[in-house]
Chain A
């Protein structure tokens, strides 16, 4: 079976696909043959929650943002359908699109305001949205029916056809689940999903690879709101009344639990989680009050046995086969330009009362390797951060290929042609080396396959093509650095900033790295290499810049640095003396 991108996914994971197929057929048979009206109702409710959880998987599972507004968007969709359907008699052709639109219209401004907050502040802010909506519906009884809510909501009706309860309603909801799940699955496996995963794992690194973190999170937030609105609309049709309970925290907790128990970031996980979480209390309902204890214990057991969720457990039991690697494909190179690629003038940065950079100027030219040295705390990493947009300058100017990029966002600087590495190689543990490198091409390539082919080329270029199918987790430090370098290289940057690339490498590995960097320079890349290892750096660099307490202490030929009295006093000590 081939998906919309032409990939043979059934061939990749036959066991998983077969299990999914068997599950779907089993569910269908249960609904058609065995399920009582009660069974169908529970199944319908599970479908509603699965739909809401698909959206949550996108914002929380893939994007890593703990949005506690998903329940509020669910409730908002429910209220729109409830009020319009009950009071004004509109059918689903009006109520359903508006139930999607209303949460979206709330999500966009809220997202713009809160999505840049750190994780726990973001969670609290989104919880605030839910609280405000709850207060509004309770205190606007003329519109919302107040605490009583709005009774008499009609069943789902479209163009004169009304879905009776039981099988038709269950089929309708699960039809929506199928469509929603397929869209979610495509999102998760496509550029957006992979980009979100990168943002989740390390937003800073994602931004430096050219991903617009804010825009991606906003898209995920908006998508999650659409799913929640759709689920809320279906919920109110099955429940026939909408009341403030749909905006209360238990709805949100249920969605969150479904995502965690099912498996974070996986649409199948949302499906499995919803089926389990909604059915579990019903199985124990006969125990009256005690059912909550049994339910809690059962949930605890699931989490203990499957800490990565049900899909994580499945992957552990049936590891997917290594899929066929794409053939290497060299990405288009930037136009070959000589001369200056980056110019920084008078770069100044203060952290409170500490001046980390004090009027530093720097030029990087095509084919030239500049070494950046200095004692700890001299401002080397701060300078790289300032050039790559992670720190805002207090004064000074940065130009890339003549364009002023002072205080531009990291993703814009990356798109202008600058790439960088970090002191500690930042790679997602649960991704393969190929996927980690391909992530760098997501803003550039239209298709994931193409991004992977380009990533393969970068890995081969760095001499680690054999690692393509291996998980980043557990890679030795030297290989992690190679993979990270391949990720930077995959973007075909014109300017490359490397923060201590030789740290932890053996002499042989350093020699290989030096040869590689020379080859990159020969290709016309302008390199800035921060390094403490003078034996590695001085033979490699064409020019050296030495910082001390944020100021330029020396700039010139590598040979000169060994003889410069100031550098010797501040940094080198006995080296070269």
Chain B
């Protein structure tokens, strides 16, 4: 597995000097260490796979730089990447605070940032250089809340979220979505991502007599809470955030512990859905020895749209930006189009686990939630 990753990176680096996509490079600046390393690795893999499978005639060069989890490291990484020659676009960190830090510099350097960050604020800065290929919280949390209320017919959700930018943003949008559906959560509490025991918060939540548990946590805490919930005999359904759909999260749990658990996400490549998605999953497994998730697929789709723009004649970062701003792209996960702020993804799905397998099945699809895609 490791050898696969190394060979792919080495292969890409080797060809970098010989041939670039129209002389442009496509640095990958993602968190490979720290609490977002799982998601960041998916991001990197998706970007690298897209560059590897670049449209005929194009070979994308990529330098991968670990941004850790500090905004300072992300800005430094962007400065470093920009110093390495003309940049077509950057596969940029999915960590919201890192994106917020990189945005002013990206505007100054005139470099498009292609990300799968779900943090709403990154596309609210009037910055034309950011493009999010993952549905924002306005989309996913609408799907999340609608599934809880419309499909599961639940009206007393208990919401547990993370005290990070990701968590607070999701919580805010869940509030709005539930309000729009005339539902008031019976419990809401934020937990620190470093918390090692989530039984206290789970106990407090259950004490309010909810009929569904709504989670918006990072991968590790999601797995921990579900494990502790299963151990304590939780009898109400759980609808989790997108971290749950990741195969790496599911791998932390026994299939039985996943019974009755659903999750919102942009896509679930391991669940199949189309021959193209199946081919992507197979290529991903071959290259990285891992199961792909929605972050990998979103980043893959994003970089593919960038490369398609180059293929279509974009010669500068500004050309790429324009193409992303006004174009449409039929990606593997969905059809992408900008809403004018850089939000490219407007669909979400709900996947559910049957308690026998770690591969979820598609339970519900919510397309064009924002009405942007015509």
List chain A positions with a Cβ less than 8 A from chain B: 36-38, 41-42, 45, 138-139, 141, 146-149, 151-152, 165, 235, 238-241, 243-245, 250, 282, 285-286, 288-289, 291-292
In the complex, the chain B residue whose C-beta lies closest to that of A250 is B70
Note all chain A residues with C-beta closer than 8 A to B166: 147
Note all chain B residues with C-beta closer than 8 A to A245: 69-72, 97
Q: Which 3 pairs across A and B sit closest by C-beta, in order of nearness?
A: A243-B97, A147-B165, A151-B100
B33 nearest CB across to chain A (Å) = 6
Q: Is the CB of B64 within 8 A of A288?
A: yes
Q: Find residues 67-83 in chain B having any chain A CB closer than 8 Å to their own CB.
A: 69-72, 75-77, 79-80, 82-83
Q: Is the CB of A243 within 8 A of B108?
A: no
20 further interface pairs, Cβ-Cβ under 8 Å (given A138-B163, A239-B101, A245-B69): A36-B83, A38-B76, A146-B165, A147-B163, A147-B166, A147-B167, A147-B168, A148-B97, A148-B168, A149-B165, A151-B125, A152-B104, A165-B108, A240-B104, A240-B105, A250-B70, A285-B66, A286-B63, A288-B9, A289-B33
Note all chain B residues with C-beta closer than 8 A to A41: 75-76, 79
23 A-B pairs in the complex with CB atoms less than 8 angstroms apart: A37-B82, A38-B80, A38-B82, A41-B79, A42-B76, A147-B97, A147-B163, A147-B167, A149-B97, A149-B100, A152-B104, A238-B75, A239-B75, A240-B101, A241-B97, A241-B100, A243-B97, A243-B100, A245-B69, A245-B97, A286-B63, A289-B37, A291-B66
Cβ of B119 within 8 Å of any chain A Cβ, yes or no, is yes
CA of A146 to CA of B71, assembled, Å = 15
In the complex, the chain A residue whose C-beta lies closest to that of B28 is A288
Picked from B72, B77, B169, the residue with its CB within 8 Å of the CB of A239 is B72
Note all chain A residues with C-beta closer than 8 A to B33: 289, 292
Q: Is the CB of B32 within 8 A of A152?
A: no
Q: Is the CB of B76 within 8 A of A45?
A: yes
Note all chain A residues with C-beta closer than 8 A to B72: 45, 235, 239, 245
Note all chain B residues with C-beta closer than 8 A to A288: 9, 32, 64-66
Cβ of B164 within 8 Å of any chain A Cβ, yes or no, is yes
Q: Is the CB of A243 within 8 A of B71?
A: yes
CA of A285 to CA of B167, assembled, Å = 29
Picked from B66, B70, B169, the residue with its CB within 8 Å of the CB of A148 is B169
Note all chain A residues with C-beta closer than 8 A to B100: 148-149, 151, 241, 243
Note all chain B residues with C-beta closer than 8 A to A45: 72, 76
Q: Is the CB of B71 within 8 A of A282?
A: no
Note all chain A residues with C-beta closer than 8 A to B125: 151-152
In the complex, the chain A residue whose C-beta lies closest to that of B70 is A245
Cβ of B234 within 8 Å of any chain A Cβ, yes or no, is no
Note all chain B residues with C-beta closer than 8 A to A243: 71, 97, 100-101, 165
In the complex, the chain A residue whose C-beta lies closest to that of B81 is A38
Note all chain B residues with C-beta closer than 8 A to A149: 71, 97, 100, 165
List chain B positions with a Cβ less than 8 A from chain A: 9, 32-33, 37, 63-66, 69-72, 75-77, 79-80, 82-83, 96-97, 100-101, 103-105, 108, 119, 121, 125, 163-169, 190
In the complex, the chain A residue whose C-beta lies closest to that of B166 is A147
Note all chain B residues with C-beta closer than 8 A to A292: 33
In the complex, the chain B residue whose C-beta lies closest to that of A242 is B71
In the complex, the chain A residue whose C-beta lies closest to that of B169 is A148
Note all chain A residues with C-beta closer than 8 A to B64: 288
Q: Is the CB of A148 within 8 A of B108?
A: no
B253 nearest CB across to chain A (Å) = 25
Most buried by B among A42, A243, A289: A243
A51 nearest CB across to chain B (Å) = 15
Majority secondary structure, B binding face: helix
Picked from B79, B96, B169, the residue with its CB within 8 Å of the CB of A37 is B79
In the complex, the chain A residue whose C-beta lies closest to that of B126 is A152
In the complex, the chain B residue whose C-beta lies closest to that of A148 is B165
CA of A244 to CA of B193, assembled, Å = 13
Given A241-B100, A289-B32 in contact, is the A141-B168 Cβ separation under 8 Å?
yes
Note all chain A residues with C-beta closer than 8 A to B96: 147-148
CA of A342 to CA of B190, assembled, Å = 64
In the complex, the chain B residue whose C-beta lies closest to that of A155 is B104
CA of A288 to CA of B9, assembled, Å = 11
Q: Is the CB of B79 within 8 A of A241?
A: no
Most buried by A among B63, B64, B66, B119: B66
CA of A152 to CA of B104, assembled, Å = 7
CA of A286 to CA of B63, assembled, Å = 8
In the complex, the chain A residue whose C-beta lies closest to that of B109 is A37
B28 nearest CB across to chain A (Å) = 10
Picked from A139, A240, A241, A285, the residue with its CB within 8 Å of the CB of B80 is A285
B27 nearest CB across to chain A (Å) = 12
Picked from A36, A138, A241, A285, the residue with its CB within 8 Å of the CB of B65 is A285
Note all chain A residues with C-beta closer than 8 A to B163: 138-139, 147
CA of A292 to CA of B77, assembled, Å = 15
Note all chain B residues with C-beta closer than 8 A to A138: 163, 168
CA of A286 to CA of B96, assembled, Å = 23
Note all chain A residues with C-beta closer than 8 A to B121: 148, 151
CA of A288 to CA of B33, assembled, Å = 9
In the complex, the chain A residue whose C-beta lies closest to that of B101 is A241
CA of A315 to CA of B103, assembled, Å = 45
CA of A288 to CA of B66, assembled, Å = 6
In the complex, the chain A residue whose C-beta lies closest to that of B193 is A147
In the complex, the chain A residue whose C-beta lies closest to that of B121 is A148
A287 nearest CB across to chain B (Å) = 9
In the complex, the chain A residue whose C-beta lies closest to that of B96 is A148
CA of A250 to CA of B167, assembled, Å = 21
In the complex, the chain B residue whose C-beta lies closest to that of A287 is B66
Note all chain B residues with C-beta closer than 8 A to A238: 75
Note all chain A residues with C-beta closer than 8 A to B83: 36-38
Q: Is the CB of A282 within 8 A of B76?
A: yes
Q: Is the CB of A147 within 8 A of B164?
A: yes
CA of A45 to CA of B167, assembled, Å = 29
Note all chain B residues with C-beta closer than 8 A to A37: 79, 82-83
CA of A165 to CA of B75, assembled, Å = 12
B259 nearest CB across to chain A (Å) = 32
CA of A244 to CA of B70, assembled, Å = 10
B40 nearest CB across to chain A (Å) = 10
Note all chain A residues with C-beta closer than 8 A to B82: 37-38
Q: Is the CB of B76 within 8 A of A148?
A: no
In the complex, the chain B residue whose C-beta lies closest to that of A138 is B163
Note all chain A residues with C-beta closer than 8 A to B63: 286
Q: Is the CB of B76 within 8 A of A151?
A: no
Note all chain A residues with C-beta closer than 8 A to B32: 288-289
CA of A577 to CA of B139, assembled, Å = 101
B112 nearest CB across to chain A (Å) = 18
Note all chain B residues with C-beta closer than 8 A to A244: 97
Note all chain B residues with C-beta closer than 8 A to A147: 96-97, 163-168
Most buried by B among A139, A165, A235, A239: A239
B150 nearest CB across to chain A (Å) = 29
A77 nearest CB across to chain B (Å) = 15
Q: Is the CB of A38 within 8 A of B79?
A: yes
CA of A196 to CA of B64, assembled, Å = 47
Q: Is the CB of A146 within 8 A of B79?
A: no
A35 nearest CB across to chain B (Å) = 10
Most buried by B among A36, A146, A148, A152: A148
CA of A45 to CA of B33, assembled, Å = 20
B251 nearest CB across to chain A (Å) = 19
Note all chain B residues with C-beta closer than 8 A to A282: 76, 80
A257 nearest CB across to chain B (Å) = 15
CA of A148 to CA of B71, assembled, Å = 11
CA of A246 to CA of B75, assembled, Å = 14
Q: Is the CB of A289 within 8 A of B66?
A: yes
Most buried by A among B9, B70, B125: B70
Note all chain A residues with C-beta closer than 8 A to B119: 148
CA of A282 to CA of B105, assembled, Å = 19
In the complex, the chain B residue whose C-beta lies closest to that of A49 is B72
In the complex, the chain A residue whose C-beta lies closest to that of B44 is A288
Note all chain B residues with C-beta closer than 8 A to A291: 66
Q: Is the CB of A239 within 8 A of B71?
A: yes
Note all chain A residues with C-beta closer than 8 A to B76: 38, 41-42, 45, 282
